[in-house]
Amino acid sequence: MWILITTASDAFLGPSHVSVISGSKIYDKFPKDYGRPVVVTGFEPVDAMQGISMIVKQFVEERCEMEVQYKRVVNHDGNLKAQALIDTYFEKMSLFRWRGLGNVPDSGLKLREEYAEYDAEVKYKDVLPIAEIEDHKLCICGDILRGMAKPQECTIFGTACKPTTPIGSCMVSSEGACAAYYKYGNLI
Ligand code: SF4
């Protein structure tokens, strides 16, 4: 897994679902190397509120640490059995192209060569050739993902781009920032 660190962000909430497998150890470098606190937080509203509260408390107390709010499921080392299975079947890709962000080294996994018969990209490469799709020129998902812009700053937010006609990655998924702003900004 890779983590995007941006100077526009003062602190981070670590995603609970990923952390159940990876363990909270993957965030140790946030405070140590980047001077940013992180709190691994669950997705329920009460979890998110407590996670934010723990971040605020760190600022008030002038601390910069990695903490876990979602302790009922996440531990420091994570699910070692699942990690071993992932290592058995997958390997890191040297480069992966993310919508909105472009190429990021060591940011994706692919099936190891010995399991290529199960790899849809290999198996169906002749019938379904992989086509690179460029991001829409008006889409500012990259800036939103880096914490440098808000969805409302996109000129087509809520007009040409909405959950029923998504143009960028932040609107495609219901977890995307644009989709959330659209839903909870009472635009639907
Ligand atoms: S509103 Fe749509 S086009 Fe604009 S940034 Fe969000 S996903 Fe991209």
Task: Phi first, then psi: give them for residue 89, nearest 5 degrees.
Answer: -100, -20
Residue 132 Cα to ligand 1 midpoint, Å, equals 19
Is any atom of ligand 1 closer than 6 Å to the C-beta of 139? yes
User: Is 132 within the bounds of a domain?
Assistant: no
- 131 found inside a domain: no
> Mutate which of 134, 144, 165 to test ligand 1's pocket (most atoms within 8 Å of Cβ)?
144
Same domain, 106 and 153: no
Residues 109, 149 share a domain: no
> 35 lies in which domain range?
12-68
Model pLDDT for residues 63-106, shown as the tens digit of each residue:
999 999 999 999 999 999 999 999 999 999 999 988 888 899 99
Of the candidates 147, 149, 109, 99, which has an alpha carbon nearest to the alpha carbon of residue 18? 109
Quote the CA–CA distance of 45 and 11 in Å, as a whole number.
Answer: 19
Whether 151 lines ligand 1, by a CB cut-off of 6 Å, is: yes
In this structure, is residue 73 part of a structural domain? no
Q: Is the pTM of this model over 0.85?
A: no
Residues 6+ apart with CB under 8 A from 141: 99, 100, 135, 168, 169, 170, 178
Closest CA to 151 of 183, 175, 181: 181
Nearest CA to ligand 1 atom 3: 139
CA atoms of 122 and 173, how far apart (whole Å): 26
What confidence tens digit (pLDDT) does each residue in 25-37 have?
999 999 999 999 9
